[in-house]
Amino acid sequence: MGNILITAPFDDENLKELKKVEDRGIKVFYESWTETGKLLLPYELVERIPKDDIEILVVEAEKIFENVLQVPQLKVLGVCRGNPVAVTDPIKATENGVLIINTPGRNASSVAELTIALMINLIRRIIISNNLVKNKKYDNQLQFEQYTKYRGFTLEDKKIGIIGLGAVGFEVAKRLQCFEPDLYIFDPYVAEEKIEKIKGKRVELETLMAESDIITIHAPVTKETIGMINKDMISLIKPTTYLINTARSDLVDEDALIDALINKKIAGLALDVYKKEPLSRRSPLLKLPSDLNVILTSHIGGATYNTIVNHSKMIVENIKLYLDGRVPKNVYNKDVLTKFNLK
């Protein structure tokens, strides 16, 4: 049995649990990129895997290309993501007999709660108000304007459109229940029972875009969803509507969104993801007029300790099953199991 290399961040408790396998002669190399400040390049992994006899590799931020998958010592690749986007070609993993373990739902609660926070910040103009006070503009005139120009609204009875009712979208919908909004759901693949659980209404995307007071995006990136929120879809949005994207920038025409915001075709915008990250200093998003209701966060949707604990626990559980000769719970490329003698 080969060794284990982990470059993803793990919490202490689950790392300690995993290191128990060292009693079986399996060495665990823990080199979290958040501690080393370094991502291993493909050629470094190609050299490292045979050097330290790595049978199980666990990553979060590294990109895994085919040359890494071709190293014969590598048998299991753990990817600390809901969708193993770190692997450039999962089919090549199967062809090379590498079993991919992913961590679905690891950051669902974290992203959902950020989404709710952005939602409330937008509709109550919290950040705008904060900046006015800190910039010493909270005077008698502003005291009057807060009841007119800066007036917000509550979520009660508002139409909130959720695009994608996967792990994150469902958690957003669950947390919105106490606010008693009307939930519009666009997800062609979700079961009706799941929509009923959150008291939602299934609608077409065009209906959701045209009728929602708040739109929040939680769809995965697939061939079908790339660019789904295009210029035509954005043109359907009411000028009083707010849009939030904590999913992926590939889903939205960012330029069309900026244009709609500048021309007052939408009321506000909150983004945690961008077509280029980190944002260039020349990004038009950083040049928007200060009076626009815009919140830009630095891709912090999953940046909670809970996310690390969740993916650590899932990976450790799956590795232990594999080492015991059993099929892990979260196998992404199930076709590869024919190449393993697992029960």
Q: What is the pLDDT along the chain (343 residues), one digit of tens a residue?
A: 899 999 999 999 999 999 999 999 999 999 999 999 999 999 999 999 999 999 999 999 999 999 999 999 999 999 999 989 899 999 999 999 999 999 999 999 999 999 999 999 999 999 988 888 888 877 766 666 666 778 899 999 999 999 999 999 999 999 999 999 999 999 999 999 999 999 999 999 999 999 999 999 999 999 999 999 999 999 999 999 999 999 999 999 999 999 999 999 999 999 999 999 999 999 999 999 988 999 999 999 999 999 999 999 999 999 999 999 999 999 999 999 999 999 9
The CATH number of domain 108-296, selected from 3.40.50.720, 3.90.1530.30, 3.20.10.10, 2.40.10.10: 3.40.50.720
Closest CA to 71 of 100, 102, 101, 48: 48
Catalytic residue among 180, 196, 224, 277: 277
Q: Is the CATH number of domain 3-106+305-339 3.40.50.720? A: yes
What number of residues does the chain have? 343
Pull the structure tokens for residue 17: 């649990």
Closest CA to 84 of 68, 67, 99: 99
Beta bridge partners of 243: 215, 269
Beta bridge partners of 242: 214, 268
Residue 55, SS3? Answer: strand
Is 248 an active-site residue?
A: yes
**pLDDT value at position 143?**
67
Peptide bond into 278 cis (omega under 30): yes
**pLDDT value at position 129?**
86
Closest CA to 230 of 214, 201, 209, 204: 209
Catalytic residue among 48, 81, 125, 248: 248
Catalytic residue among 124, 145, 299, 317: 299
**3-state secondary structure labels for all residues of 258-325:** HHHHHCCCCCEEEECCCCCCCCCCCCHHHHCCCCCEEEECCCCCCCCHHHHHHHHHHHHHHHHHHHCC
Task: Report pTM.
Answer: 0.92
What is the torsion angle, in degrees rounded to the nearest 10, for the CA atoms of residue 46, residue 51, residue 55 and residue 61?
A: -50
Under 8 Å between Cβ of 125 and 152 = yes
Under 8 Å between Cβ of 320 and 123 = no
CA 149 to CA 259: how far, in whole Å?
A: 22
Beta bridge partners of 245: 217, 271
206-242 residues labelled b (16+ CB within 10 A) or e (exposed): eebbbbbbbbbbbbbeeeebeebbeeebbebbbeebb
Under 8 Å between Cβ of 287 and 255 = no
CA 94 to chain centre: 25
Range list of H helices, the chain = 12-18, 33-36, 42-51, 66-69, 90-95, 108-124, 126-134, 140-145, 167-176, 192-197, 205-211, 231-235, 254-262, 305-323
- Alpha-carbon distances of 218 from 267, 273, 306, rounded to whole Å: 20, 12, 19
Half-sphere exposure of 211 (CA within 13 A, CB side): 17
- Alpha-carbon distances of 65 from 38, 71, 77, 225, rounded to whole Å: 18, 11, 12, 24
CA 111 to CA 300: how far, in whole Å?
A: 8
Is 277 an active-site residue?
A: yes
Residues of the chain with CATH 3.40.50.720: 3-106+305-339, 108-296
